[in-house]
Each structure stands twice: as C-alpha cells, then as structure tokens.
Amino acid sequence: MAEVLTIGEPMGLFVAEEAKPLKDVQTFTRLVCGAEVNFSIGLSRLGHTVSYVSRVGSDPIGQHIRDFLQENGIEAGYVQVDREHLTGMQFKEKAPEGVDPLVVNYRRHTAFSYFTPEDLQGIDWQGVRHVHVTGIPAALSASCCAAVEKLMDEAHAHQAMVSFDPNLRPALWPSHKVMVRTLNRLAAKADLVLPGLGEGKILTGMEKPEQVADFYLDRGAKAVVIKLGGSKGAYGKERNGKEFIAPSFRVEHVVDTVGAGDGFAVGTVSALLEGRTLEEAALRGAAIGALAIMSAGDNEGLPNRTELQHFMEAV
C-alpha cells in the first residue's frame, strides 16, 4: 500500500503548439493535468509511493490517464471507471514565456463530479502515513465535497497526517461565500495548511501572514506554511508558537507559473515524510516551486532526488 493518498480530478490536457488564439489552433500536444496529478508525480519522482483516488470516464482520455498515472509510478487502483460520464478536459493556449496562458476547462458533469463518499469504501489504510487534499475537488459537486471531508476524517481515524492546499478556483464555486465557508471548514480538518498569502487574505479577511497563520492555528491546524509569492519565500508557524521564514530560490527565468504551488506542496510533504523539520520542509518546498516555474508544462519541471539535491546545493 502507498504511504500517501490524494484525491482529485485528473484531466486530459491539450496544449496548443501554435502561438495563436485557441479558436485558430490546429495542433495540440496531449498531456495530463490536475493539481493532485502534479503532486503525485512530484512525490513519485522523489521516491515516495502515492495512491490516487479518483474517477474517470471509460473514454480514451480516461484510459490514457490511468496509463499515464501507472507509467509515472502512481498507484491507480482507486481510480474508478464511469461508463456514463466523460473525463474532464482542459485546453491551454501557447503563451510567451513568463505569461500565464489562457486555459479553458470542460469539467461540468464529468465522471469525477459524481464521486461520492461511498466510493471511498475499500481503501486499504495499512501503511498510509499522509493524505493530501486541495480545495479543487470540493468545488466540483456536493458529493465530491462530502467525499473529501470523509477522506480527511478517515485519515485522522487511521493516524495519518493531513495537509490541505486551498488552491482557490473561484469560477468553480457557486458563490464567494460558499467557497470561503467550505474551504475554511476543510482547513480546520487539516494538520498542515498550505495557502498562498493572497488565498489566505481572501479566506480569512486578514492581511498579514502571521494573522492568517493564527486564524488556522486557532481552528485546529498544527502548522501553517504560507507562500508569500515571488522572491519573498514562505512564512511558517507551528502551534507551539515557533515561527520562521523560508527563503526563496533564485529563478533564472520564469517559463510557466502553473504548478508552482503544487511543487511547494511536494517539497513540504516529502520532507516531512522523511522526518525533516517544518522549516526544512518549507525550504525544500520553495526549491521545488522554483524548479517548477522554470519549465514549460504543469509537471515537467518537478525534479527527481538527484536534480533536487544539485539545485539546492548550487544555491
């Protein structure tokens, strides 16, 4: 059994090969995307075992996703196949380096949006040490949200640590109020909360990272690490009152910012699994986040252990 579980919607990703408006593009490169996909790939490349909990359609894209996960060392035994609904898709524009591309999602009434808490039956918790959750699947349907909450509760019942990355996607939520209320409820179930500072401001109404951290610590989190953005690094605070700033790493040039937050989660969680301190974990998170934005694609820049070591030692 894998040591880490995550839940989310993997999607077929089609990246334009031509720098044109999407409506005019003739050729695309087929990939796989999803915040939890990026997280899983990153952990797998560092030698950790991950099981992905999800549902895809019985269509060719869903079949490709299952193959892709397995080829990348991710256990896909908990990826169910839905014969009535299609797999989600995303189309991404080819944008100049450093510019966030236009992204168009097709994820309404997809196979994963019909995932329910009952679909979690049969999970083998033996050996599971960590569960990582983002706020994205909770936005896709009421049943998905209930499944996420149940998975977090079951993780605690089996003494597994839970991390939560809000990963705000306002367009997926019925209202701002529902988004804030739901994500804060999920964060209260986590041991480790990993928001960006901008996300923290939106969710808590606080302005300073110290205030955002205290908001979640007061509601049950054991630790909070806040990505400050750009060259500012990350601020962390633990329930015992210990605070730190993890410095950022120099980025030669920004190619694609997609996946930076997922890379940060990879670094932080992997280091904690290896017995590192939270401050050391946040530093690794900053390193992998930096590597992620220096490569095109959602997860192509996520390093293996040798690449990570060389990057951190070269700074």
CA geometry: angle 275, 250, 290, nearest 5 deg: 55
Place of tokens 């380096």: 97
Please identify which of the residues 119, 256, 262, 298 carries the catalytic annotation. 262
Would you say 42 and 297 are in contact if contact means Cβ atoms under 8 Å apart? Answer: no
CA 176 from chain center: how many Å?
Answer: 21
Burial of 21 (0-12, 13-18, 19+ CB in 10 A): exposed
Rounded-to-integer distance, Cα 210 and Cα 226, Å: 9
Range 69-86 burial, b when 16+ CB lie within 10 A, else e: beebbbbbbbbbebeebb
DSSP letters spanning 115-154: --GGGGTT---TT--EEEEESHHHHH-HHHHHHHHHHHHH
- Is residue 218 part of the annotated active site? The answer reads no
Rounded-to-integer distance, Cα 123 and Cα 41, Å: 20
Residues catalogued as catalytic: 262
